[in-house]
Structure 1
């Protein structure tokens, strides 16, 4: 029985992979208008395409054809925009740029997390035996997805190489100093939920339960869609706050710099693609 199930899954995946024919274009997504505009401003020969009410902008970055879109906030919006992009433009890969709340105590606002894996922190079931299930189910194969969606290894490696070669904008010191501090960049775990986290208690929970380095509201939804369609993806998050009780205050101060650095890194990755 297990062998038959495995053969069915493999056959389903192969059939779908054959049906999804990619085009030589890279998909770029961001949750907020300001984040997306930073990318769109670098496009050569931009052209607007509206698909079911969602605005996409095509153009070129370096030698790469790209399509850019704003997902809107939250998992449903992110999944919808990603699905429309994949269906209409058939990109070979998808990259996401945006901000997040930091949950790793070693990180400060302005630092960057390149997600090597993403997970839903607000999905699951709770039973009387206290055995939560956090895995979503793939509607194509009918099998459980992994609890953590892995980033594409090639894109992850490329991002790690690119970040060593670009100069990111210094982060204003929280205490107000004469010079900015450098940006710390790490690969790590990003968790996603339909909540803006501004609670040290929740931060501790996300850290202990998921090993989270950052929390946001779109990444895992995009990763799940890409994983199920078998399209390479990478989520990049620049921290605007520590997701604590002062998150709203820190957000106002660090968001502009964080958004610019995240967009700069994504653009540099696109330019470095073969």
Structure 2
């Protein structure tokens, strides 16, 4: 056997061993992980549980129970990417969920969307991450700590969960946003599958919204989704991020957020609950 061929065999074998080891690293259990950034986003989900039980892992409170016939574990991540990644990692390590769903609110960056509308994240990305490669080439790609390879800029949602959500939402009664007059908007809640971008900043700037649309074609922006998606992607756990808009991420975002986030949080939670029941 010549030396180049032998080396090829060795490298191929090592590659297979690495792939097999990586694929076998995470062994899931028949339970679904449900996450939200703060109390209002997970309250409805917790209220829907039966046979609930509280488990504290390294100071983070997880609530297990059932939604319909499905076993679930629910947790509040806290706001921001580090908190979201930490809670996701603890959930995966301790409970080994088969899939992870994230429910919550976001700022709308797509001009066709209004508060109360829903974005099912077909993909998520970090809008505040950037680095220079060894070849001095700028990139928005994070690096996978397990494989040492670059992650994609956009973390794709699990296609099965995404399609199921698109079908299930047609059966869910979503709330319209209250008008200033006290009535309810006649405009039906719009639901779309799109791009959600994540950064450690509450966006309240028309200029920033313009940049996010130009750079990422973003439909919504928030502070946790891509962190959850990256952890799940690297551990190879199916995930889906669902966001209901509380504002339009513009100069009036803080005012709109205070007014509309309860309705937005309920709409997102309703979809996630219905999605779990349909699994």
- Per the shorter chain, which TM-score range? over 0.9
**Residue in 1 aligned with 2:164?**
158
Alpha-carbon distance in 1 for matches of 2:214, 2:244: 21
Alignment of 1:225-244 (within 5 A): 225-244=231-250
Alpha-carbon distance in 2 for matches of 1:2, 1:95: 41
Alignment of 1:8-87 (within 5 A): 11-87=17-93
- Checking the alignment, whether the CA contact within 8 Å between 2:116 and 2:175 is kept in structure 1 is no
**Residue in 2 aligned with 1:182?**
188
Q: Given the two structures, how large is their TM-score scaled by the length of structure 2?
A: 0.92
**Residue in 1 aligned with 2:268?**
262
SS at match of 2:151: coil
How many residue pairs were aligned? 271
- CA drift of 1:66 comes to 0.1
Q: Is 2:111 the counterpart of 1:105? A: yes
For the pair shown, the structure with the greater C-alpha radius of gyration is: 2
Gaps of 5+ in 1: none
- Checking the alignment, whether the CA contact within 8 Å between 2:195 and 2:219 is kept in structure 1 is yes
- Checking the alignment, whether the CA contact within 8 Å between 2:124 and 2:226 is kept in structure 1 is yes
- Checking the alignment, whether the CA contact within 8 Å between 2:131 and 2:141 is kept in structure 1 is no
- CA drift of 1:126 comes to 5.9
Alpha-carbon distance in 2 for matches of 1:13, 1:111: 41
- CA drift of 1:132 comes to 2.9
Q: Given the two structures, how large is their TM-score scaled by the length of structure 1?
A: 0.94
Instruction: Please give the per-residue CA displacement for 1:4-44, whole angstroms capped at 9, x wherever unaligned.
Output: 87875654343133131110000000001111111000000
- Checking the alignment, whether the CA contact within 8 Å between 1:28 and 1:67 is kept in structure 2 is yes
Instruction: Please give the per-residue CA displacement for 1:116-163, whole angstroms capped at 9, x wherever unaligned.
Output: 000000001269x99531001111111100000000000000000001
Gaps of 5+ in 2: 1-6
Root mean square deviation of aligned Cα: 2.0
SS at match of 1:235: strand
- Checking the alignment, whether the CA contact within 8 Å between 1:114 and 1:185 is kept in structure 2 is yes
SS at match of 1:57: strand
Q: Which of these residues, 208, 232, 256, is aligned with residue 214 of structure 2? A: 208
**Residue in 2 aligned with 1:145?**
151
Evaluate the alpha carbon distance shift between residue 229 and residue 245 of structure 1 in structure 2; reply closer, same or farther with a 3 A threshold.
same
Alpha-carbon distance in 1 for matches of 2:260, 2:49: 25
**Residue in 2 aligned with 1:197?**
203
Give runs of ≥4 in structure 1 deviating > 6 Å.
Answer: 1-7
